Amino acid sequence: MTEKEWNAKSNPLLVDFAPGRWDYASPPPNTRISSGEFTAEIVVDHKTDPPIFHAIIQQTGSSQIVFWSQARSFEEAEGQTQELLADLSRGSAKVA
């Protein structure tokens, strides 16, 4: 398992579920991102062409889904997810 930690204090920790690196031209493995008390998973749905990337955010330790979105690329899903996680960790976004 590989890990990539972002430099800023409140930025998320990115953990890949599959070893090795991926080429952004092909779908990456499922990815977990954590920030503060929230955890997100970006899950790739390979049943569609092109693949759909589901971003699911939960409060750590809870089964309740705080936010669920879909994106057409990993980069889009990752960017949206990191932004929302940062907002949730700062208290800028409300948990329903």
Coil vs helix vs strand at 83: helix
Q: What average pLDDT does range 19-32 have in this prediction? A: 60
Residue 12 pLDDT: 47
Residue ranges of alpha helices (H) inside the chain are 74-90
Cα(70)–Cα(62) distance, integer angstroms: 21
The answer, yes or no, to whether residue 43 has pLDDT greater than 50, is yes
Helix, strand, coil percentages in the chain from 3-state DSSP, rounded to 5: 20, 35, 45
Q: CA–CA separation, 3 vs 61, rounded Å? A: 21
Mean pLDDT of 19-28: 50
Please report the pLDDT score of residue 22 as a whole number: 45
Give the C-alpha distances (Å, rounded to integers) separating 83 from 12, 33, 49, 64.
Answer: 10, 11, 26, 20
Sign of the Cα pseudo-torsion (49, 75, 40, 26, in order) = positive
- pTM for the model stands at 0.67
Q: Is the pLDDT of residue 31 over 60?
A: yes
